[in-house]
Chains A and B, each alone.
Chain A
Amino acid sequence: MSPVPTPIVQASGLSKTYGSGETAITALDDVSVDFRAGELTAIMGPSGSGKSTLMHCIAGLDRADAGTVTIDGVEITDLDDRHLTELRRDRIGFVFQAFNLLPVLTAEENILLPLTIAGREPDPEWLEQLVTTIGLGDRRHHRPSELSGGQQQRVAVARALASRPAVVFADEPTGNLDSRSSDEILGLLRHSVDGLGQSVVMVTHDPHAASFADRLLVLKDGRIVHDGPAGGADDVHERLRETSDPTPTA
């Protein structure tokens, strides 16, 4: 391990504009940011500030108009769809807000999905460890419809970790969950960083969720307006208040 953590994802000069002319919306405005390995980063910001767009661009789901993205040493800007897909498959894990699992597959099959897609044999010990970590127990052969929302989301986290990706992206992973389930998921993500050495980038608008992170990025109008340690939930509130409009509404 080198003493200085190397960036696992590097974005530089990312810009993205939707529409054109008078109705054009700048979703990302020349954003440059590095994500370090072994860190849990929370991205926050008001609705429409460009969080999802940033995440989609740095995760290879969408293309920026300008700028470059390097994931785990691979520059993805010019990759074609197939290589981009394979990169997602092998080097990136995803947790979405909802609809993370294929209804026809069992929980365990869903966890192994990225490996199965790649045609790789799963490592049984690793699978055991994942199943144990997410506390699925005897429900591993159930289908998603037979699991609670929290259980489903835990399966999704395990799925994201299954291929030991370089980085896990989570877009509002707790958006649809009650506070107990939320804490379980956030604990899991935290554990994946601390216990398994994962790197996680999480978009959220919940300060409590952000307080689980090492680092807090705040976006506004497509720019990064804050970058620093996350601290507790109160600190997060403070950062958000500082970066919001001088005349706050409600």
Chain B
Amino acid sequence: MRALLLRGLRSHVRRTLMTALAVVLGVALVSGTLVYTDTIDRSFDNLTQATTRGADVIVTPNSEQGVDSFGSDPPQMPRDVLDKVRGADGVREAIGVVGSQQLVVFEKNGRDRLGSGFAPGVLSGDEPNADWFGSTRYASGHAPRADDEIALDRKAAEKGGYALGDEVPVQLAGPQRKLRLVGTVELDGVGSFGGATVAITTQPTAVALASRTPRNYYNTVAVRRDPGVSAQQLEASVRRAVGGEATVRTGEAEASKQAKDIQDNLSFLPTILLVFAGIATFVGAFLIFNTFSITVAQRQREHALLRALGATRGQVRRQVLGESLAIGVIGSVVGVAAGLLVAPGLRSLMASFGVDFPSTSTVFAPRTIVVGLLVGILVTMISSFVPANRATRVPPVEALREAAAPPARGRVRRGGVIAGAVLAAIGTALLLLAVTGTIDGDGGSAAAGVGAALLFIGTALLSPILVAPLAALVGGPMTRIFGLPGRLARDNAVRQPGRTAVTAAALMVGLALMVFATVFASGMRETLRGDLEQAVDAPVVVQSRDGGMSSLPPELPAVLRRDPAVRAAGAMSFVSVKAGGEQMSLNLADPGVFDQGLLRLHTADGRQVRDPGPGEVLLGEGDAEKLRATTGGTIVVTGANTRRQQLRVIGVIADAGFTMDGSWVSTATARRLADPRPAFVLVRTDERPQELERSLQRDYPGAEVQSKDDWIGTQTKQVDQLLMMVYALLALSVIVAFFGIVNTLSLSIAERIREIGLLRAVGATQRQVRRMVTVEALITALLGATLGVVLGFVLATAVGVTIDGFALTVPIVSIVILVVLAGLAGVLAARPPARRAARIDVLVAIGDE
């Protein structure tokens, strides 16, 4: 039996390779994701260790766990903490670092930000002689000594084309400043801290740039111990000295805490990528299932002969499963290894969307190998189980029958259709439970995932009944255009409805998700546009030139108000706080934002919202529901700096819409909880945006002034960016489906060699044969596309209707483009099998064999 198995694999090298390829691609994405994220984790580990290496104890501000500092700077410690630390027993030396993560380093033109996307600009103002702290190594030049000097990380300097002696424009608080580059640094041999731009200045310069006050001063205090004192002893004595004012940890503990925080913050990344890897693997399962179904059907006589010669059902099943095991193992091993190539690919993909994490040395953990192999082998085995079972049901008498020509018209298995309907129904139910929030949290995500998978499988099982009508629909015009080849293609597609359906279904999955994302994103875009158009009543908006990614200097609204043509200007910013045990985002409004009508929102009773005063909060509908708070009540929030604040609810906003739904406090109130920075400034002015921008050119060249409409445009563009990323990640699934078409067609053609030979003998040209195969692929692809579009649309609608105020739109153009691309992919996929079909030797085909 084993010899037979090997013979089978070897004699169908092409098919074996194609099937293995489906495994390879899915597993490669799984393994690539693991390698990529492990590498990021390790790199951050290395970096945090490197940046704390010289310190025995590190003192950091108290900070609330689970509250991020999105849109604001992390908390600082008061200035006198350093003196207290220095007074503690066992301290040989202590330095304070003043820093920020909101620094904007500009390109040479002074307008555009250096570096892109989400990577922060890190400012570090060291004291002199601080070189023992961390492992900052100067690649060139020296540390800043004068207040107009700056050092950059090597990568940033290279990116900006800065050489020692060049002026580097920077901005944080206050007008843009130009500092002279005197050195470039490497962090533990790494040129860049995860895409972040790192700048080092003298401490006074950092204090000025970040406008630090004695109350909010140091980010970090690093301590070295006296000889004979242990790190733990030092930790205890420093803790005693600072009281509860700051958090004290050993250098080691601080490093691992930072690493863990980063890991927690990045945990979304492997999750998301693994979801896409899972989708690709899922699509691969369709391909594997199909390949095995076809080969089992084609080898019916071989199996019947084995049975006639006395092989048991178990032996036949084991032969098929053995083949699938071999393919699974080959595919998984190659896939796991290919993950090493996928990882850098993922990295550049993410980097192209502005998410650039450090990756020092590639981490290939044993876990990656185990998971990759398990996934690949299990998926292959499971996908081939049904075909293997089918093989055992071949009656031995089949062996005695005439060499069966492939049937002219296959039947749709009724059992399959019923099972499909049941699975689709269960899937839909699970999805509904998830989107309506009946099951929520992790359970909800799981229900949504399983539900979608069941819906896809169910639709795949159901779709054979759709093959004939859809093939007629698509095939009709094809027959008219291409004549006989079109007609034969249609008939061929219908001959094995199950086969065509599964091939199409593989494409359906990727396409449905693309359509889902497209419809959802387009709805999101329109919702956002509608919400902003309704709420924002400022003709002009100012934000940073990188599309609002970096924050604006805090004094900018005041500067704008000094312009005589400006009638009102108020900043909007965001901070995160904790409320009711969960993180909650607060929108901050400068005075006048509501009272002067820059934003217009209303409460349920129709009254226009006014500026929230000190200690007041305007709740969004969602937050009000979550916190069970009503007008007149109070809520308690905790800032990133651990301070608690009681807020009086002065109203619940009723008309903010889905994307603007959020709670508002005044900027002043939020300052007690965090260090917020303006995200954008709403301006009412008689000037045109260009005129206002020109007036800001000298001190704030990084500020972009846009009309309201243009600004809304840049906001909605971010949705498109996200959509592009989703497309890119789904592309692999579509590629797998593409191989599915190649494989199915190749196998079908091998089955129809005699027919094609006959066609050629009676005068069909090679071109006509090629066309026939191409049109069959086209029909299959369009079938998948149609199913995908419908399913994607249904899914998006289902999710959309559960969101209040979600503007469901039909992005016809995008959908048409997707369908056309799917068709083109089908045509492309048909090329190799079409060429092979056209080259079929007439003599071999009509021979006696």
Contact = CB atoms under 8 A, between A and B. Distances in A.
Same complex origin of A and B:
yes
Interface of A: 56, 61-62, 81-82, 85-86, 88-90, 94, 96-97, 99-105, 113-114, 116-119, 143-145, 159
8 smallest CB-CB distances across A and B, nearest first, come from A89-B763, A103-B408, A104-B491, A116-B484, A88-B763, A99-B754, A85-B765, A117-B764
Given A62-B843, A116-B484, A144-B408, A100 B765 contact: no
A211 to B, nearest CB: 24
Contacts of B759: 102, 113, 117
B411 to A, nearest CB: 13
B766 A104 contact: no
Contacts of A117: 484, 759, 762-764, 768
Contacts of A102: 488, 755, 758-759
Nearest to A100: B758
A96 B408 contact: no
B762 A119 contact: no
A82 B763 CA distance: 9
A48 B504 CA distance: 47
A56 B491 contact: no
7 contacts: A61-B843, A88-B762, A89-B764, A99-B846, A101-B758, A103-B407, A117-B759
Nearest to B767: A82
A88 B761 contact: yes
A44 B4 CA distance: 41
B660 to A, nearest CB: 59
Contacts of B761: 61, 88, 94, 96
Given A61-B761, A104-B491, A117-B484, A82 B766 contact: yes
Contacts of B405: 99, 103
A85 B766 contact: yes
Contacts of A96: 758, 761, 846
A61 B758 CA distance: 11
Contacts of B547: none
Given A100-B758, A104-B492, A116-B484, A85 B764 contact: yes
Interface string B756-785: 001111111111100000000000000000
B495 interface: yes
Contacts of A97: 848
B406 interface: yes
Interface string B836-849: 00000011001010
A41 B672 CA distance: 108
Pick from A90, A116, A143 the residue with the most CB of B within 10 Å: A116
A114 B763 contact: yes
A85 B484 CA distance: 16
Nearest to B483: A119
Nearest to A85: B765
Q: How large is the interface on B (under 10, 10 to 19, 20 to 34, 35 or more residues)?
A: 20 to 34
A99 B753 CA distance: 11
Nearest to A53: B843
B486 to A, nearest CB: 11
A148 B761 CA distance: 23
A61 B483 contact: no
Contact of A86 (B409, B484, B758, B765): B765
Contacts of B842: 61
Contact of B762 (A56, A62, A94): A94
A62 B846 CA distance: 12
A110 to B, nearest CB: 10
Contacts, number: 77
Contact of B408 (A81, A88, A94, A104): A104
Contacts of A119: 483-484
Given A90-B763, A117-B763, A99 B408 contact: no
B843 A56 contact: yes
Interface of B is mostly: helix
Contacts of B488: 102, 104-105
Contacts of B846: 61, 96, 99
A16 to B, nearest CB: 12
Interface in B812-849: 842-843, 846, 848
Contacts of A81: 765-766
A85 B762 CA distance: 8
Most chain-B CB neighbours within 10 Å: which of A117, A118, A143, A159? Answer: A117
A203 to B, nearest CB: 12
Contacts of A94: 761-762
Most buried by B among A85, A89, A159: A85
A89 B842 CA distance: 14
Given A85-B760, A104-B491, A114-B763, 9 more contacts: A56-B843, A61-B843, A82-B766, A85-B764, A94-B762, A99-B754, A99-B846, A102-B759, A143-B409
Interface in B713-764: 754-755, 758-764
B758 A114 contact: no
A116 B483 contact: yes
B408 A118 contact: no
Contacts of B767: 82
A90 B755 CA distance: 19
A56 B408 CA distance: 28
Contact of B495 (A104, A114, A118, A159): A104
Nearest to B491: A104
A145 B762 contact: no
A100 B405 CA distance: 12
Interface in B531-552: none
Nearest to B484: A116
Interface in B89-143: none
A189 to B, nearest CB: 17
A182 B768 CA distance: 34
A103 B843 contact: no
Contacts of A104: 408-409, 488, 491-492, 495
A95 to B, nearest CB: 10
Interface in B171-220: none
B393 to A, nearest CB: 22
Counting chain B CB atoms within 10 Å of each CB, which of A96, A102, A105, A114 scores highest? A102
A235 B567 CA distance: 119
A176 to B, nearest CB: 10
B408 A143 contact: yes
A145 B407 contact: yes
B314 to A, nearest CB: 34
Nearest to B490: A104
B408 A89 contact: no
A37 B191 CA distance: 88
Nearest to A102: B755
A147 B760 CA distance: 23
Nearest to A96: B846
Interface in B449-465: none
Nearest to B765: A85
Contacts of B758: 96, 99-102
Nearest to B492: A104
A144 B754 CA distance: 15
Contact of A113 (B491, B495, B762): B762
Nearest to A175: B848
A144 B484 CA distance: 18
A85 B763 contact: yes
A136 B668 CA distance: 95
A133 B765 CA distance: 29
A86 B495 contact: no
B374 to A, nearest CB: 43
Contacts of B491: 104-105
Nearest to A83: B765
B183 to A, nearest CB: 72
A243 B622 CA distance: 101
A102 B763 CA distance: 14
Contacts of B483: 116, 119
Contact of A103 (B755, B763, B765, B848): B755
A64 to B, nearest CB: 13
B595 to A, nearest CB: 76
A89 B405 CA distance: 24
Contacts of A143: 408-409
Interface in B229-271: none
